[in-house]
Amino acid sequence: MNILAITFLLSGILVFVACLPIIHGKIPMNKIYGMRTKSAFKSDEAWFHLNEVGGMIFAMIGFPLILAGAMGFALPQHLLGLFSSVVLGVSFLSIAAAIYFFMRYSIRYTKEAKQDAALKAKPD
């Protein structure tokens, strides 16, 4: 039994499935589950919007893991050590990229929200 392939496959499925309720707006504002940033806690609108975007970004991490798990079943036993090292490296880089892109989007969203609020408050 190829435990590495099973681990990658189940990890990918878990990451993807865990992101679905966040993407679909099923998770109310809380401090445990979701994209918990300062920007997201500003309002319910910000929470749901940023969690939808962040959930999509993080759900994309699940697909390479699922693919890696499927590929792991086809590889010969002697290549699994190298394969697992490559997959773990790519996974960590993917997570770092997802965090970077989400934080960048969150900062931009906050700036735009402030500009919109300033325009609405400005008398004509």
Question: For residues 41 and 122, what is the distance between their CA atoms, to the nearest angstrom?
Answer: 25
Asked if residues 25 and 53 have their Cβ atoms less than 8 Å apart, the reply is: no
Nearest 5°: the CA angle 109, 113, 117 is: 175
**How does pLDDT run across 85-121, given as a tens digit for each residue?**
888 888 899 899 999 999 999 999 999 988 888 888 8
Burial of residue 85 (CB within 10 Å: 0-12, 13-18, 19+) is exposed
Number of domains in the chain: 1
Task: Give me the domain span that covers residue 101.
Answer: 3-121
pLDDT in tens, 5-30: 888 899 999 999 999 999 999 999 99
pLDDT at 1: 56
**Alpha-carbon span 99 to 111, nearest angstrom:** 18
Could you report the per-residue pLDDT of 38-77, keeping only the tens digit for each? 999 999 999 999 999 999 999 998 888 898 888 888 888 8
Helix (H, G, I), strand (E, B) or coil at 22: helix
Judge if pTM exceeds 0.85. Answer: no
**Amino acid residing at 46:** A
Handedness of CA 83, 85, 90, 91 (dihedral sign): positive
